[in-house]
């Protein structure tokens, strides 16, 4: 009697999808909840010297997961993917609890939460690193597109669901932002231990300590450089001229180059560079990188557009904008949810190339159409275009991931899964840096002059207006992003508001002054950012066109008992990159 090697696959999909959803929701839920968190710990994130706390709480989680997922994926290949995945669920849950019971205040609380947030990222990295590999082991080749598509949609949609969830929970109590993960984490951990079974091919080997160290140091240096590059520096709008930022960026890139050399020399590398000799693996990861660069900063830019301009000018107070920005961006999530599983299902039958390529071309078109919208757009057209964008990204993501995972040897699926997660998370940080820089460059050209003229026209003295106008544009953008009133945040430290006529003070801090002031300068940077996203998607489309026809990795045939099925031969063989033939469909 032949045992079904794929028994329990749907339960596996349910558990891993829950894990990815939890991990990605938690990456974005803090983004929308930061104002309430900082109010709760009694710290002003806009005070000079406190900006770094804000940035590390926002981006530290993404940085840790980006750095660790490849190492944890390789560790899963060695000691077992399910074991690593379950450990990740448990770690994530423990540090969610610790985040929610923060008892400190001020800078001490911020530092404590940053450390706990980084450790929570360790748990998220265990989950992200092994999910795709577990699903590839659990499903037959002709159903992997559907399974990975469902999981990818959960990963991408989770980042948008987190915005709405954070906007609802944080005003009630900021601790709920972290408590919400606890019951999910407990259920997921217990369920995983009881239900998930190791089905993957293990590849016992020594840990590549040198390669792991070089990769971690290089990627940390690169991503930390990006984080501090978007902070003001000695009178400059941004920190790209900061010598330490330049050293960090150059050193990071150089160390990653050293990592590539190390991996070609050690006997048991952390990541087999030879996997890039597989055309589908190489083309799929290039496409994934460019798509993530185009998509990663999109959420950041749309939130600033909505919170800083559109929502206040349509009657919403600045304090309300974080929640409503998440709600008004739901069509983007809807597009992902519709296209992801469907394109994965269809790619199982017709191959990944047409869906991945078509998705990126459609995404490029949606970015081009977004450029045609006026800053004070009609919401119906905005909703239609971001829905198309979400649909396009969902159309691409599932087939692309399935094609990559189907192309690699079974004993190297963990490191392949980890590399995919690293690309997505690193590109998110890099994309935010690129998009934010383009927006600030656009603002820097015109905002100081328009701000000075607007303030002096409403009773602010020339000297005070000049001091405010000379502030880096980053301060006003961060204010709008965090749900603070930007003009009030800039004028309050000067004491100017107390000396103005009540009508003038009310107008300057009202809902129309700042949106009108920033609209034109913001539009310049927005067009540059959308041009970048459009170009990235076209490059991703070109890479997707090189995926080739649909095929699955097959190891060289080995003598097997007669009762073993042909399907097992296709999926269970172990090998090294480039070994064996491909089964084409």
CA distance 408 to 278: 8
Spatial separation of the C-alpha atoms in residues 264 and 272, rounded to whole Å: 8
User: Looking at the domain assignment, is residue 571 inside a domain?
Assistant: yes
Residue 266 located in a structural domain: no
Query: Would you say 404 and 291 are in contact if contact means Cβ atoms under 8 Å apart?
Result: no
Return the bridge partners of 581, or none.
554
pLDDT of residue 574: 34
Q: Six-digit token pair at 353? A: 């190339």
Helices (H), 139-206: 144-169, 176-179, 181-195
Average pLDDT over the chain, rounded to an integer: 81
Summarised one tens digit per residue, pLDDT across range 532-559 is: 999 999 999 999 998 866 555 555 444 4
pLDDT at 567: 42
Query: Quick one: residue 551, left, alpha or beta (phi over 0 = left, psi -120 to 50 = alpha)?
Result: beta
pLDDT at 553: 52
The rounded distance, in Å, linking the Cα atoms of 345 and 149 is 8
> Please, which pLDDT band fits residue 570 given cuts at 50, 70 and 90?
very low
d(CA 260, CA 272): 9
pLDDT value for 292: 87
Tokens of 400: 């692309």
Q: What is the pLDDT of residue 578?
A: 39
Cβ proximity of 61 and 118 under 8 Å? yes
SS3 501: coil
pLDDT at 4: 61
Predicted pLDDT of residue 465: 87
- Does pLDDT of 436 surpass 90? no
| Nearest partner of 384 among 398, 373, 396, judged by Cα | 373
Quote the Cα angle for 305-307-313, to 5°.
Answer: 90
How far is the C-alpha of 442 from the C-alpha of 428, rounded, in Å? 21
pLDDT tier at 363 (50, 70, 90 boundaries)? Answer: very high
> 543: helix, coil or strand?
helix
Q: Is 328 helix (H, G, I), strand (E, B) or coil?
A: helix
Burial (CB count <10 Å: 0-12, 13-18, 19+), residue 437 = buried
Answering whether pTM is above 0.85, one says no
pLDDT at 420 exceeding the cut of 80: no
Contact 41/179 with Cβ under 8 angstroms?
A: no
Dihedral over Cα of 403, 408, 414, 415: its sign: negative
Task: Look at residue 585 and tell me whether its pLDDT is greater than 70.
Answer: no
Reported confidence tier of residue 429, pLDDT bands at 50, 70, 90:
confident
Reported as a single tens digit per residue, the pLDDT across 85-110 is 888 889 989 998 999 888 888 889 99
pLDDT at 389 (0 to 100): 92
Residue 560 covered by a domain: yes
Integer CA distances (angstroms), 504 to 286, 469, 483, 515, in order:
53, 18, 22, 16
Query: Which single residue is written with the structure tokens 């992902």?
Result: 336
Q: Which two tokens stand for residue 131?
A: 């999910």
- State the Cα angle at 552 between 548 and 555, rounded to 5°: 125
List Cβ neighbours of 561 (8 Å cut-off, separation of 6 or more).
none
Q: Residue 520 falls within a domain, yes or no? A: no
pLDDT at 573: 34
| pLDDT(65) > 90 | no
Which residue stretches of 269-378 are H helix?
Answer: 279-296, 298-305, 311-313, 321-328, 330-350, 353-372
Domain count of the fold of the chain: 1
Domain span including residue 564: 553-584
Mean pLDDT score, 185-209: 77
Tokens linked to 149: 């598509």
- Does 574 map to a domain? yes
Distance, in Å, from the CA atom of 220 to the CA atom of 71, rounded to the nearest integer, reads 14
Q: Is 564 among the domain residues?
A: yes
- Spatial neighbors of 173 by CB under 8 A, at least 6 apart, are 40
pLDDT of the residue at 48: 67
Cα(86)–Cα(101) distance, integer angstroms: 24
User: What pLDDT shows up at residue 137?
Assistant: 81
pLDDT over 60 at 57, yes or no: yes
C-alpha span between 136 and 201 (Å, rounded): 11
Note the helical H segments in 408-512. Answer: 413-456, 462-469, 473-481, 486-491, 502-508
- Give the pLDDT band (50/70/90) at residue 372: very high
CB 70 within 8 A of CB 422: yes
Looking at residue 373, its pLDDT comes to 92
132-184 tens-digit pLDDT? 788 888 888 777 777 877 777 777 777 777 877 887 888 888 898 888 888 88
Q: Indicate if the pLDDT at residue 360 is higher than 90.
A: yes
The pLDDT-based confidence of 584 (bands split at 50, 70, 90) is very low
Please give the DSSP secondary-structure letter assigned to residue 242.
-
What digits encode the pLDDT tens for the residues 236-294? 778 888 899 999 999 989 998 998 898 888 887 777 788 888 888 888 889 988 998 88
The span from the CA of 388 to the CA of 332, in Å, is 8
φ, ψ at 551 (rounded to 5°): -155, 165
Based on its alpha-carbon atoms, the radius of gyration of the chain, rounded to whole angstroms, reads: 24
* CB within 8 Å of 94: residues ≥ 6 apart: 123
pLDDT > 90 fraction of the chain, expressed in percent and rounded? 13
Per-residue model confidence (pLDDT) at position 250? 94
- Among all chains, which residue has been given the structure tokens 């998110």? 428
Question: How many helices and strands (H and E) does the chain possess?
Answer: 23, 2
Position 56 confidence tier, pLDDT thresholds 50, 70, 90: confident
Residue 569 within a domain: yes
Among candidate residues 62, 87, 66, the one with its CA nearest the CA of residue 75: 87
Q: Which of 433-447, 469-483, 568-582 has the lowest mean pLDDT?
A: 568-582
Is there a domain that residue 241 lies in? no
């Amino acid at each position: 009697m032949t045992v079904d090697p794929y028994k329990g696959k749907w339960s596996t999909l349910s558990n891993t999808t829950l894990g990815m959803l939890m991990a990605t929701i938690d990456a974005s839920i803090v983004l929308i909840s930061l104002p309430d968190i900082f109010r709760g710990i009694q710290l002003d994130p806009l005070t000079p010297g406190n900006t770094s706390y804000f940035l590390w709480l926002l981006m530290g989680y993404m940085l840790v997961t980006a750095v660790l997922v490849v190492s944890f994926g390789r560790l899963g290949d060695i000691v077992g993917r399910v074991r690593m995945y379950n450990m990740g669920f448990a770690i994530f849950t423990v540090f969610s609890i610790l985040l929610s019971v923060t008892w400190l205040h001020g800078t001490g609380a911020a530092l404590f939460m940053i450390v706990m947030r980084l450790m929570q990222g360790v748990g998220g990295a265990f989950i992200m690193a092994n999910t795709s590999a577990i699903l590839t082991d659990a499903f037959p080749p002709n159903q992997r597109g559907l399974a990975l598509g469902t999981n990818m949609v959960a990963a991408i949609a989770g980042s948008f669901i987190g915005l709405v969830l954070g906007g609802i929970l944080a005003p009630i109590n900021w601790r709920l932002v972290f408590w919400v993960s606890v019951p999910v984490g407990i259920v997921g951990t217990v369920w995983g231990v009881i239900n998930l079974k190791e089905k993957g091919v293990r590849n016992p080997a020594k840990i590549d300590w040198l390669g792991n160290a070089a990769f971690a140091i290089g990627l940390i240096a690169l991503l930390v450089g990006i984080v501090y590059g978007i902070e003001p520096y000695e009178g400059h709008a941004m920190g790209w001229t900061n010598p330490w930022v330049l050293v960090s960026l150059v050193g990071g890139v150089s160390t990653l180059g050293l990592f590539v050399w190390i991996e070609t020399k050690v006997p048991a590398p952390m990541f087999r560079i030879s996997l890039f000799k597989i055309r589908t693996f190489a083309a799929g990861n290039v496409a994934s990188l460019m798509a993530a660069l185009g998509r990663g900063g999109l959420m950041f830019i749309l939130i600033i557009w909505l919170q800083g301009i559109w929502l206040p000018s349509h009657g919403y107070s600045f304090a309300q904008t974080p929640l409503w920005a998440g709600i008004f961006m739901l069509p983007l999530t809807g597009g992902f949810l519709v296209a992801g599983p469907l394109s994965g299902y269809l790619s199982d039958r017709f191959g990944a190339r047409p869906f991945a390529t078509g998705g990126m071309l459609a995404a490029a078109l949606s970015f081009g159409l977004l450029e045609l919208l006026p800053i004070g757009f009609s919401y119906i057209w905005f909703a239609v275009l971001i829905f198309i964008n979400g649909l396009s990204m969902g159309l691409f993501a599932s087939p692309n991931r399935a094609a990559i995972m189907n192309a690699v040897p079974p004993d190297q699926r963990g490191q392949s899964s980890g590399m995919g997660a690293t690309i997505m998370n690193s590109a998110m940080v890099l994309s935010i840096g690129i998009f934010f820089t383009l927006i600030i460059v656009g603002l820097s050209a015109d905002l100081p002059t328009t701000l000075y003229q607007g303030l002096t026209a409403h009773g602010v003295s020339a000297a005070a207006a000049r001091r405010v106008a000379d502030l880096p544009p980053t301060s006003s953008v961060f204010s709008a992003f965090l749900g603070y009133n930007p003009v009030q945040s800039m004028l309050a430290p000067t004491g100017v508001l107390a000396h103005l006529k009540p009508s003038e003070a009310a107008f300057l801090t009202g809902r129309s002054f700042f949106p009108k002031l920033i609209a034109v300068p913001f539009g310049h940077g927005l067009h540059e950012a959308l041009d970048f996203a459009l170009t990235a998607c076209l490059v991703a489309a070109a890479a997707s066109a090189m995926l080739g026809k649909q095929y699955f990795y097959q190891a060289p045939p080995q003598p097997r008992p007669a009762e073993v099925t042909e399907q097992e031969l296709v999926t269970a063989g172990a090998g090294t990159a480039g070994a064996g033939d491909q089964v084409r469909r």
